[in-house]
Structure 1
Amino acid sequence: MGRLIEKLKHWHTFAYFLIVYDFFAIGISYFLALWIRFDCVFSQIPKSIWDQYVDTIFVYAYITLIIYGVMGLYKSLWRYVSFYELRQTIYSVVLTGGLYYVITILFIGRFPISYHVFGIVFQFFFAVLIRFGFRFVTMLRNSYSTLKVKKNVMLIGAGYAGRMVLRDLNFVKVHDEKKDARIVCIIDDNPDKWDKCIDGVQVVGGRDSILAAVEKFKIDEIYIVIGTISSKDKRDIIAICRETDCVIKVLPARFGNTARMITAANLENITIEDVLGRAPINLKQEDVARQLRDKVVLVTGGGGSIGSELCRQIAKYEPKQLIIFDVYENNAYDIQLELRKAYPMLDLVTLIGSVRDARRIESVFATYHPNICYHAAAHKHVPLMEDSPCEAIKNNAVGTYKTAYAAMKYGCDRFVLISTDKAVNPTNVMGATKRICEMIIQTFDHMVRIHREDLLPALYTHHDDGENVGVTPGSGHTEYVAVRFGNVLGSNGSVVPLFKKQIAEGGPITLTHKDIIRYFMTIPEAVSLVLKAGANASGGEIFVLDMGEPVKILDLARNMIQLAGLKPDVDIEIEYIGLRPGEKLYEEKLMSEEGLKETENNLIHVAEPIKFDSDDFLDKLNKLMYVAYQNDAVETVQTIRDTVSTFTG
């Protein structure tokens, strides 16, 4: 904050200096014009014309300063001065000079024509001199500091963004920072720019010239500064750059379609998302907006990685009320603070509680009557759930059932379950419990459709929790859907945070198997597709998101080591520890018994659900709850096998 205040003070000081300078420069400009008109002899200036000059010049100067201010000549950062500032200066000088001529002719008297012509010329000269002179002196000063430069930089991208970074780095000395880098060559795929120079720096060729230019110019760092670039092109360019030992930085995508000032400070280190190169998902979300606007929306597990992103994206669609429900208070508090700052007008409610507590979850539905519920609360860590299968059942299966039951009982319009590809032919307890969650959703949807909600037991854990009150045949109208996707980058439980921690500790990175593969998607991508699928659901579907191409975890680990500026198997060892209990070499999107139906969106598909006996399933689920609350791990796993026919764990 202190540094910002100092910068503002510096900017105001320079603006005041310019105002004073312009005031005197205007007077001097027209004095010189008058002086030249009369052969540079002051005594030859007629007294009547001199009096007209004195009577008008101060008023003219004041008016000119106001017009300069309106045209933005006191707001620009003159170290970045460019054609825009030159154009504004020309407009301002011509406008003020023209007004001066018209007003004097109409109200004061005639000056010699040359007085106005030379006055405008001198006024423009002095206005440009101070402003462009500041940049020229800065450029000249920095041109002599080349020998002090410690890092040679290659700039990839000769567009608007690239030119801004070039000027910032080569011609601007950043305050309070020692300048130690300089752009010495430029790469651009447009052949029309090859062998030409931008601010004295040569465009040496396209991406095929990167490796040769790195060697020729002894490049230390590479800046990829392209405003709009496809994920494939970005990935390909990064792949070439990573063949060098250079530090690589990129312009974040948020600067892609902006005309704001871009500096070298805006560049960031490349991320694993950049390396994987997934194409951004651009969806038309009008249907999502229609579904969420002015609705009460509940997100269970709203403090988690997926739940919190759901809250962020839901908030921008102007819901009537957004309810964050989570058992972990720290996460819930963090997203609450973030959303209150970003959306101060949002009616935000943050509640602490567990979906395992029937009385608590029913009180939430009874109090707030949410129209839509996104159920993201779940235990997700595969190894931990292998060791605690009873807790997996209590939280994932029973918690989902109790939340789905409350949604039906209190008139929720739509219930969206966040599922996982680990539910497909599950080999671990976590995946099997998520498959049970999908079966719960299908059962609820089936019972609502045939108007037999009364056949759904309340599954209360304790006898005094309540009765099956208020649920009569035909009383429910909730639509139940599930959305299934794979791993998301950076989510709780994914390998990315684990690998980052292991790299920070100096290694080794522990990998279960050299051939293990996973599907990956960014959290915002996954959530946007969840919202899209939920908006287009009609009830009973299991939506499957297109996760793109699978990624070898070994390649992911190596990439992350290199992104940290280290060498795999040299600086950071990779150890293979063997597959953990219940872990697959690869994940599947569908069970063999399921078909896949297309939707209007090629990134979202619908699985044809496996048929099962709902009554038999409910009996087994009731038994599952009983053995889980008896904390009988062996019997719980066996009952899971009896319940989920595809479970092979």
Structure 2
Amino acid sequence: MKFGSRKTILVLLDMVLICLSILIAYLLRFDLHIPHAYLNQFIAYAAVSMIVGSASLIYFKMYKRVWEYASIGEVITIIKAVLVTCTVSYLIMLLLHEPRVPFSVYVRVLENMILIIGASRFLWRVLRDKYYKKKTNKKNALIIGAGDCGIIIAKELKFNPSAPVYPVAFIDDDPFKYKHLVMGIPVLGGRNEIIRIAELYEIEEIIIAMPSVSKVEVSEIIDICKHTKAKMKIIPRINDLIEGKVSINAIRDVQVEDLLGRDPINVDLDGIANYVQDKVVLVTGAGGSIGSELCRQIAHFQPSKLILLGHGENSIYVIEKEISRKFPALKIEPVIADVQDLERMKDVFRIFQPKVVFHAAAHKHVPLMERNPAEAIKNNVFGTRNVAECAHQYKAERFVLVSTDKAVNPTSVMGATKRIAELIIQSLDRVSQTKFVAVRFGNVLGSRGSVIPHFKEQIALGGPVTVTHPEMVRYFMTIPEAVQLVIQAGAFAKGGEVFILDMGDPVKIVDLATDLIRLSGFEPGVDIEINFTGMRPGEKLYEELLLSEEGIGNTTHDRIFVGSPSKISHSELAKEIVRLEKIVCEEQGTVREAVKHLVPNFSNVG
């Protein structure tokens, strides 16, 4: 129906309701028998009120409101429109008609019109609500959080025909909301009732609508929800909703990252800006998971130029386009180069003269590097040496090496080569004006080679999910978290330090697999099996973040700690690297022995 014809019908309907309100008022005033003297008055009063009422309702835009979403605001508007209608009509009748309209009739007309016109507006909402309740074949949903955000979600799900679920209950920790209705949906208790309510109401989807609470609290709620069979979803941050960055339809699945339960990192913006702003910044490995996130976050601090260096042209192309789109005023220089090529590195430093270097280029895949130790050494050791020596030669102010917890007491070639990379920058710091530091952290969720994408792929194929050992634990951090702390640690650099990031508590890999299966809507051991395959070459059950001789000290950031620099001589280490360079392509056993000579606590020699 077109809006014009719909509006005409609604105006005529309201005129009938106004007339009905006046008729009821007269009947009540005169005990159901209107005297003949007042009958003409009633007709005149009804005619005036219908004309004035129509104009008033149009003025207050009553025909432009969507009544299935009616709320307190609409009630107030109805009262305003009716009060104007009744008062103006009564005053006109006082001026034009004798006998005067009884004041008691005016009062009853006012009451009747508010009730009848208001009821007519809300009747459509009630009927529509009951229709969807009766007709829908949608899945039952439980909304956690009966606040403003939960109401928005409930409205969208109740009245959106394409929504796949229908809200049947709220959970909220506010005891004053218990056993009350919000949007016609009952609030059935606090978080301790989630499991019972999910089973009683056959809940198939749980939506966490608490964007203002801490990540720790969200993690605790998710931990409870994991014990139900329902699939979990979570809404975006409320700021994103307010700013219009996402729609309600962007409610996303709960992800493993939400289980970490860590609040946002506080960074010293001034300290970071002091060493990044208006400087030429070079990021190696800029197309990788860590490198690309470094580029995204560094761009916020307005470097004079950002150099994106990587070996893979496609990944560099992608990150260049993304940064250019988000930061159109920033000067960006994509460079396709291999850190193993010393002459190419010299050209890059000579041409662009970077003052801050983040070295994220590395081979990181443990089992692959066990099979290809020479490539791990060439990229992680020689590549780091090349970039670091160029930073020294061309007088960069700061060099930050992205390292790993696998460099501590390494059992893998990859870990051992990253430890050598740490030694290179620490030894070079002793003879250079450049501040060389390393930042060491554990696994990052969602990075290339991370266990999470592997598990998701196995779940998508129907399982089984393979875990190497039931007791294997790892430290985990999200990519944005890790990169924020890497940039922050660079601000603390005095030279030679290894900064260690607080990764929280270690997580069992089997628990991670179990959670991911549940988050995907399956039951571990029933729908998706978990198989243990045995530890792979170079792996160990747990990772460490600190060598015994490094000690540990605090920084001004509560999640960044610092280990003491090693005392290795730059000249001695340089000789050992040259020796390693000569034998790198020999038998694997010889190469591993040479690595062990540099890293005595490297325990994998076969």
Q: Which of the five TM-score ranges fits, normalised by the shorter chain? A: 0.7 to 0.9
410, 425, 428: which is aligned to 1:444? 428
Q: 1:402 to 1:498 in 2, by over 3 A?
A: same
Report deviation, 1:283.
3.0
Tell me which amino acid in the other structure corresponds to 1:637: R
Please, which moves more after superposition, 606-615 or 409-418?
606-615
Which position in structure 1 is the counterpart of 2:129? 142
Equivalent AA in structure 2 for residue 620 of structure 1? E
Whether 1:553 aligns to 2:502 is no
2:438 to 472, 475, 482: 482
Structure 2 spans left out of the alignment, 5+ residues: 19-25, 27-39, 89-94
Name the counterpart of 1:464: none
Q: Root-mean-square deviation (CA), in Å?
A: 4.2
Indicate conservation of the 8 Å contact 1:489/1:522, yes or no: yes
**Alignment match, 2:144:** 156
Superposed CA offset, 1:127-161 (max 9, x none): x979x977752442231232333322222111110
Q: Any idea what the Cα deviations from partners look like across 1:176-198, whole Å, max 9, x if unmatched? A: x2x66322221111111112211
8 Å CA contact 1:315, 1:322 repeated in 2? yes
1:328 to 295, 309, 312: 312
Pick the aligned partner of 1:429 from 413, 424, 433.
413
State which of 532, 539, 543 in structure 2 corresponds to 1:583.
539
Q: CA deviation at 1:600?
A: 1.0
Instruction: Specify the SS of the correspondent of 1:402.
Output: helix
SS of 1:153's equivalent?
A: strand
1:387-425 deviations in whole A, cap 9, x for unaligned? Answer: 111111111111111111122222321111000001111
Rounded to whole Å, the distance in 1 between the matches of 2:378 and 2:458 is: 32
**What's the TM-score, normalizing by structure 1?**
0.77
1:622 is matched with 578
Q: Is the 8 A contact 1:161 1:262 kept in 2?
A: no
In structure 2, distance between residues paired with 1:91 and 1:639: 87
1:536-570 Cα deviation digits (max 9, x unpaired) = 21222110000100011111111112222222233
The one-letter code of the counterpart of 1:283 is: V
Q: Which amino acid aligns with 1:525?
A: E
Q: 1:612 aligns with which of 547, 568, 575?
A: 568
Aligned: 1:386 with 2:370: yes
Matched AA of 2:515: N
* 1:142 partner amino acid: D
Report the alpha carbon displacement of residue 357 of structure 1 after superposing the two structures with TM.
1.2
User: Offset of 1:25 from its aligned partner?
Assistant: 12
Relative to 1, partners in 2 of residues 1:621 and 1:17: Cα closer, same or farther, differing over 3 Å?
A: farther
Pick from 318, 322, 341: which aligns with 1:357? 341
Distance 1:567 1:539 in 2: 51
Name the CA shift for 1:482/1:326 in 2 (closer, same or farther; >3 Å).
same
2 CA distance for matches of 1:17 and 1:626?
88
Alignment of 1:95-114 (within 5 A): none
The aligned counterpart of 1:103 is none
SS in 2 for 1:166: helix
Shift in alpha-carbon separation, 1:624–1:297, aligned structure 2, 3 A: same
1:275 Cα offset (Å) = 2.7
Cα distance in 2 between the residues matched to 1:77 and 1:288: 49
Whole-angstrom distance in 1 between the partners of 2:254 and 2:41: 66
Aligned pairs (5 A) from 1:389-408:
389-408=373-392
Q: Provide the rounded CA distance (Å) in 1 between the counterparts of 2:239 and 2:576.
A: 54
User: Contact conserved, 1:436 with 1:644, CA < 8 A, in 2?
Assistant: yes
Find the counterpart in structure 2 of residue 507 from structure 1. Answer: 463
> Any unmatched runs of 5+ in structure 1?
1-9, 31-35, 47-52, 101-109, 449-476
Q: CA deviation at 1:29?
A: 14
Pick one of 278, 294, 297 that aligns with 1:310. 294
Deviates more, 1:372-381 or 1:86-95: 86-95
For residue 187 of structure 2, give the secondary structure of its aligned residue in structure 1: strand
Alignment deviations for residues 13-32 of structure 1 (CA, whole Å, 9 cap, x no partner) = 86x899999999999999xx
CA distance in 2, matches of 1:559, 1:303: 30
1:62-73 matched pairs, under 5 angstroms: none
**Are 2:520 and 1:564 equivalent residues in the alignment?**
yes
Question: What SS does the aligned partner of 1:568 have?
Answer: coil
Match of 2:156 in 1: 168
Give the 3 Å change call, closer, same or farther, for CA 93–544 of structure 1 in structure 2: farther
| Partner secondary structure for residue 144 of structure 1 | helix
Give the SS at the match of 2:340.
coil
Letter in 2 for 1:278: R
- Of 586, 589, 597, which aligns to 1:642? 597
2:407–2:419 Cα contact (<8 Å) kept: yes
Alignment partners' CA distance in 2, 1:17 and 1:287? 64
Q: Say whether the 8 Å CA contact 1:142–1:173 is kept in structure 2.
A: no
Counterpart in the other structure of 1:218: 202
Distance 1:517 1:323, change over 3 A: same
Task: Assess, with a 3 A threshold, how the Cα gap between structure 1 residues 538 and 129 changes in structure 2: closer, same or farther.
Answer: farther
Tell me how far apart the structure 1 counterparts of residues 245 and 81 of structure 2 sit (CA, whole Å): 23
Cα 1:634–1:142 change in 2 (3 A) is same
**Alignment partner of 1:375 out of 352, 359, 370:** 359
Q: Which amino acid aligns with 1:241?
A: C
Letter in 1 for 2:594: T
Query: Residues 565-600 of structure 1, C-alpha deviation per residue, up to 9 Å, x if partnerless?
Result: 222233323222222222111100001111000111
1:42-81 Cα deviation digits (max 9, x unpaired): 79x99xxxxxx99xx99x999x69xx79xxx97x876544
Q: Deviations over 1:429-470 (max 9, x none)?
A: 11111111111111111111xxxxxxxxxxxxxxxxxxxxxx
For residues 343 and 136 of structure 1, what CA distance do their matches in structure 2 show? 51
